[in-house]
Amino acid sequence: MVLSCPIDYRYGREAMKAIFSEEGKLERLLAVEAALARAHAAVGNVPAEAAKEIGRRANLKHVTPARVHEIEAEIRHDLMAVVRALTEQCKGTAGKYVHLGATSYDVIDTANALMFRDGLVLIEKGLEDLVAALAKLARDHRDTPALGRTHGQAALPTTFGYKMAVFMLETHRHLDRLREMRERVTVGKMAGAVGTMAGFGDKAFAIQDAVAKDLGVGMEDGPTQIVQRDRYNEMLAWMANVATSLEKFATEIRNLQRNEIGEAAEGFDVKKQVGSSTMAQKKNPVTSEKICGLARIVRANLTPAYENAIQWHERDLANSSAERFILPHSFVLLDVIVQDSVDVFTKLHVDRARLAANLAAHPGIMAESVMLRLVEKGLGRQDAHEVVRKASMTGKPFGEALAAEPEVAKRLSDKDLAAALDPGAYVGMAPTLVDRALAKVGHAGAKAQRGARKAKR
């Protein structure tokens, strides 16, 4: 077999790929057919023993992808090939009850719901692990002063822990969104060719409800031939949103790892890892770069998803081929970048000395602090701003230029000026914001952690 898609040989965890593999999809299609047979039996449409026989045969041991391929090659219908492959495996008369009253997308979209449910569980666990990794960094660096930047320029002091707390809160919101949307997106249907349930007769709702309960998924409230794709769009938009956040986090690490900044870096195996084929000294942020690249694919999949939602009348087939790509690829690739993000932030090296050196190299970031200290001493805010602005533009060392300003010399002692220029004393409420963020996401705050360590001693 020639493998042409990188997901086949390069990207993706086996657990996620198994869900969306050919076998994983077939297994879930068969599970839906078995649940439908049991539902019919429950309302008296199908003999109980026939439903049991269908259930016994509706698995990969009896219905193989190879046999489905053989049938599809003859009849050119993918779901009907599954139905026939299952039917021919059933003993006695059970086979004649397979797929009773259903249309193809009753089975396909309900199987999709099963795949979505299982795939979202894996992504949810990954995001929980990412929150934990970011929470640890936030705790550990709650009070570590860091240079805050805006427009790519030195701005004001912050703490490295607060930077991580911001990422943690964003990830936590994605978990909230996932849990809130789960019931809307893990939805199948048992409603027939145009959504009227005509093929299920007067027991249609009982059959639909039984299938839903059996499989543990919801059912479309207003079906046509398919589950309405606004549901898929919500899920894929959420996935694009998560991917965007992870690309943002990774971009920050890529920037902080630049030689001229050097404040944080991905873990690097110095014994074996190779950074470049020719530049032997390189330690490139390759995992963060991979996150950024794959995130763009996840976002790009949202465009065909939106177009798929525009159907002719009760349904056309234009969505089918596109969904064969965008659904498994979005799940597999998002899972990859979530796991890679966990790896980056679990192994992140934070250089405290470089953080301090970069702060010291930019004394001008204390302009606001000095301005507000002058206001406290009676100078008007606008006048104080102008005094500090002029001092910062002289080209002289900032502290020296400030001391030479008459308004500064008149109002601030050397001790006052030195205090106003201390970046470690001007991180505002950043440590408290870290504590509040940790409490919000359910991770112990820095004070509680310190108390626990003291108690152990």
- Identify the active-site residue in 77, 276, 321, 349: 276
Q: Is 156 helix (H, G, I), strand (E, B) or coil?
A: strand
Q: Residue 86: which of 42, 132, 55 has the closest Cα?
A: 55
35: burial class by Cβ within 10 Å (0-12, 13-18, 19+)?
buried
Position 51: which residue type?
A
Q: Which two tokens stand for residue 27?
A: 């297994």
217-223-224-230 Cα dihedral, nearest 10 degrees: -80
Own/partner pairs for 378-385, CB < 8 Å, 24+ apart? 378/411, 379/407, 379/411, 383/407
Q: Side-chain half-sphere of 318: how many Cα atoms within 13 Å?
A: 14
Instruction: Report d(CA 377, CA 399) in Å as an integer.
Output: 18
Q: Residue 55: which of 39, 77, 68 has the closest Cα?
A: 39
Among this protein's residues, is 276 annotated catalytic? yes
- Identify the active-site residue in 151, 277, 313, 413: 151
**Signed CA dihedral, 59, 65, 70, 76: sign only:** positive
The C-alpha R_g of the chain, in whole angstroms, comes to 30
The helix (run of H) or strand (run of E) holding residue 145 is: strand 145-150
Whether 69 and 63 have beta carbons less than 8 Å apart is answered as no
How many CB atoms are located within 10 Å of the residue 193 CB?
A: 16
Whether 205 and 145 have beta carbons less than 8 Å apart is answered as no
Instruction: Report d(CA 109, CA 232) in Å as an integer.
Output: 11
**Tokens 């900032």 belong to residue:** 398
Among this protein's residues, is 99 annotated catalytic? no
Q: Which residues are catalytic?
A: 151, 276
